[in-house]
Amino acid sequence: MKSLYNAARTGFTEIWAHKTRSVLSFLAIAAGSLVFIDAFSAIFATYERIEKQKEVSGMARMKISQNYSQTFSSPDEYVPPPVISYDDVLSLRREMPGLYMVSPEARDWRNVLQYGERRMTTSLMGVTPEWAKRDFVYKLRGRFLDWHDVENKLRVCVLVKKAAPPPGNSFSKSMLKKYNFTGGFDMLVAHNDMLGETVKIDGFTFTVIGVLEELPYSKRPGTITGYSQDYKVLAPVTTLTHYNFINSYQSLDLSIDTGNEQNYDESLRKINNFLKIRFGDGDFFIVENQLEVIRERIAASMKSALVTISLGMLAFLAGGIGIMNVTLATVFARTREIGVRRAIGASRRDIMLQFIVEAVMLGLIGGILGSALGYLWGVPIKVILGMGGSPIKVWMPFISVLIAAFTAFAFAIYPAWVAAGLKPADALRAE
């Protein structure tokens, strides 16, 4: 312990006596520590975001829609595409009650909404309460659609209040403005308390029972299904069918979540069999395997994060090489000192300990400095620059400092071994 204390005191004296050289040495490690913290926070943020997205979107997802290529493949043998009706959805639910979500959806793309004397274009979407089980990135005011609304075909609706768009360049903003056909509706919902109000949609009176407020982009967990829908007005799918918003030849799309990945393949097989038995040919429909899409997106995100963390490790490696070179130069510059210490009784272990402790001290200083800079870069500076802050956890700087110290230790072993291997007589004759 006394040897370690003496080595630390000598090392501090040497560092202080050669400030410029010492600063250049630990700055390399500080840069590595900064990059490592930024990289580690990036991979942690990616993992955290994926976990939140998995919770919101689910993993075992599939989507069923009409296969138009099958029905239009031959102009001389046109076959009207089969239609998935709400009765078909109920039948699927009865046959496969273990499915977590079976959400029938149908959109009427252009509708006229009238509120008082104001008329504006909107888009009407037919759903059931199942819709809210996945990809729900909203804050609800009032209530959502319930099964009483669906079963009784009630004329009730839920309006979607859009969040402010994320920062973008002038081109994207101009394109958004140019093609925003429902801008009037968005302004209406944004500047009026519509909860409990009555509106007319294509001449039919609807009561607004709820308002879904989109979460700000900074707080939105996002979805990993690969689909981004711009919803405006949600109403019971049975109501839209009953009042001919959705015509009899329009098929419902089905968004299905099997509940877990383990039974996904078996559920997929049963659903394909259901379609084949129900409609005579399963090829009339496309069953999109969203589970594979989600897995690919997660793998790509993790690969990107691992590349980032590799850059942090390379920065540490460069810092370690820098400390090794500086320590070697220090050994050759202090050859006579080493000879004197060996002559008065210092062992090879004492010589090695002296240079290793000095290098580790440089690593610790660099790690602490880099951790402080990493926190400043990851939280306030990134926020000021509009890049979004990185989630710096308490243990990240601690791990970074430990890695910095270990890197310095590992790269100081060879120079320390060279110093300890010098013979006292040769070292004393050195100029």
Instruction: Quickly list DSSP for 364-386.
Output: HHHHHHHHHHHHHIIIIIHHHTT
- Contact, 50 vs 298, CB < 8 A? yes
Length of the chain: 431
Residue 301, token pair as written in the block: 């995100």
CA distances from 341 to 328, 345, 358, 426, 428 (A): 18, 6, 16, 13, 10
Contact 420, 351 (CB under 8 A): yes
Cross-strand partners of 235: 126
Q: Tokens 């993790």 correspond to what residue?
A: 302
Strands 204-214 and 198-201: antiparallel
Whole-number Å distance between alpha carbons of 108 and 92: 24
What dihedral angle (degrees, nearest 10) is formed by the CA atoms of 139, 142, 146, 152?
-140
Please give the chain's pLDDT, 431 residues, in tens.
666 656 566 666 666 666 666 676 777 778 777 777 777 777 777 777 777 777 787 878 888 988 877 555 566 666 677 889 999 999 999 999 999 999 999 988 789 999 999 999 999 999 999 999 988 889 999 999 999 999 999 999 999 999 876 665 555 556 566 666 788 899 999 999 999 999 999 999 999 999 999 988 767 666 655 455 689 999 999 999 999 998 878 899 999 999 888 888 899 899 989 988 888 876 788 888 777 777 777 777 777 767 777 777 777 787 788 778 877 877 777 777 777 777 777 778 878 888 888 888 888 888 888 888 877 777 777 666 666 666 777 788 888 888 888 888 888 888 888 877 766 665 555 55
Q: Where are the domains of the chain?
A: 2-54+297-429, 61-99+101-257
Helix (H) or strand (E) holding 201, with range, is: strand 198-201
**Structural tokens at position 2:** 């006394």
Name the residue among 330, 339, 342 with its Cα closest to residue 416: 330
Tell the residue number behind the tokens 């802050």, with chain if given.
389
Other CB atoms within 10 A of residue 25 CB: 28
Q: Which helix (H) or strand (E) holds 159?
A: strand 156-161
